[in-house]
Amino acid sequence: MIRSRFAVAAAAAAAVILSAPFAQQLFAEVSVRWPARSRPLGVAATAVPAALVLLFALWHICERRILRYGLLVLGFGLGAGYILFTALTFAESFHFVEYGVLAVLFYRAWRPAGDWSNVILPLAAGTIAGSLDEWFQWFIPIRAGEARDVLLNSVAMAAGLLVAAALEPPARVRLGLDRPSRAAVARWTAATLVVFALFFYTVHVGYDVGDPEIGSFRSRYTAAELQRASRDRAERWRTDPPAVQRMLWREDHYLTEALWHVQQRNRAWNAGDVAAAWRENRILEKFYTPVLDTPTWADSRGHRWPAAQHDEAASKVGTTSRPYASDAYAYPLYPWALF
């Protein structure tokens, strides 16, 4: 029974992870087709399942009502508070529900243990699933994975566990952990830490790249790696430019970083901050050169400034020596020096 329930929970977790790019396409389509209704639809996608669970709980709970109603209030309060106060998007709200369901499934797998492992192990399994989910999304061009979302998944798991315990409390609860449970908790805790650490290293650890003329900017690559990537893309894109964004393909993070600097350059120019725009353009010219002259899915004309605009920016900047640190990188990235 325990193995079959765990197999169901693990299969559901795999389905959530592997469906991420398809779900994003659905959310994007909804936002395009019904822009004014996307937020209400997101609320409905969260509220309707929650309401059904609440109605089922009120009908189902007949014993130990005070304790179980208390757990129910805590679970729904935690979920509602997190969703409302963090202003989750449509996709994030739906994701919250998915992980609440996973919490119920993993809880049912370990419920017979009768000690604190039936809470600790589902949280560990959910955190591993959440880390793998965000890791997978980081590799997909239309999704983004970050540690903040792993926290979101863990909060959803906690809310789901409270609701699951209210619906189906353990027959008996012992304080502490039995010997078999201690070994299981140790293994799952170690696995959770290893998976999250590898995910965090891949997604959130990078480098401060410094240049005497420009200042500094953060990247997943060292200056030397950026130069090698620049030569590689220049050769490859001659015959296969990234003119179409492939939804189900491994993301080219070199291209992604370059486009972030293009966006930062253009924002600075439109805001009248010529010095910042010039520095961002020099970052592109020195470290992301192929992107300037290659048609991309973001702009079929390439991203190089017209000569007149380039000369205008150069004349206005002059010999300014104001320190500059680019914040074009769209997600938290911590340089190796901090570790």
Q: What is the pLDDT of residues 59-84, one digit of tens each?
A: 777 777 777 787 778 888 887 777 77
What pLDDT, on the 0 to 100 scale, is given for residue 166? 82
Residue 10 and residue 143 in one domain: yes
Instruction: Please give the full DSSP string across 26-64, using - where no structure is assigned.
Output: HHHHHHHH-TTTHHHHHHHHHHHHHHHHHHHHHHH--SS
Q: Please, which residues have CB within 8 angstroms of residue 5's CB and are 6 or more apart in sequence?
A: 105, 108, 109
Report for 21-30, 50-59, 161-170: range of highest mean pLDDT:
161-170
CA-to-CA distance for 331 and 297, rounded, in angstroms? 21
The verdict on 242 and 301 lying in the same domain is yes
Domain enclosing residue 248, as ranges: 212-338
Average pLDDT over all residues of the chain: 84
Confidence of residue 266 (pLDDT cuts 50, 70, 90): very high
Residues paired with residue 115 on neighbouring β-strands, in sequence order = 174
Last residue of one domain, picked from the residues 204, 237, 265: 204
- pLDDT surpasses 90 at 314: no
Judge if 229 and 110 occupy the same domain.
no
Domain count, the chain: 2
Q: Name residue, tokens 């930062």.
A: 264
Same-domain check for residues 272 and 195 = no
CB atoms inside a 10 Å sphere around CB 222: 14
Displacement of CA 74 from its chain's centroid (Å): 26
Tell whether the model's pLDDT for residue 36 goes beyond 70: no
Q: Say what the pLDDT of residue 138 is.
A: 86
Instruction: Give 178-218 pLDDT, tens digit per residue.
Output: 778 888 889 999 999 999 999 999 999 999 999 888 889 99
Lowest mean pLDDT among 81-90, 91-100, 182-191, 314-323: 81-90
Tell me: do 252 and 296 sit in the same domain. Answer: yes
261 and 187 in a single domain? The answer is: no
Same domain, 96 and 221: no
pTM for this prediction: 0.83
Last residue of a domain, one of 204, 228, 257: 204
Where does a domain end: 204, 222, 239?
Answer: 204
Residues 316 and 220 in one domain: yes
Q: Is the pLDDT of residue 271 over 70?
A: yes
pLDDT value at position 24?
A: 64
In this structure, the answer to whether residues 233 and 85 fall within a common structural domain is: no
186 and 217 in a common domain: no
Q: pLDDT: is 178 or 315 the higher one?
A: 315
Tell which wins on pLDDT, 91 or 334.
334
pLDDT of residue 228: 96
**CA atoms 309, 221, 322, 268: torsion sign:** positive
Q: Are residues 270 and 311 in the same domain?
A: yes
Residues 6+ apart with CB under 8 A from 25: 142, 247
Q: What is the pLDDT of residue 292?
A: 94
Do 244 and 180 have their domain in common?
Answer: no
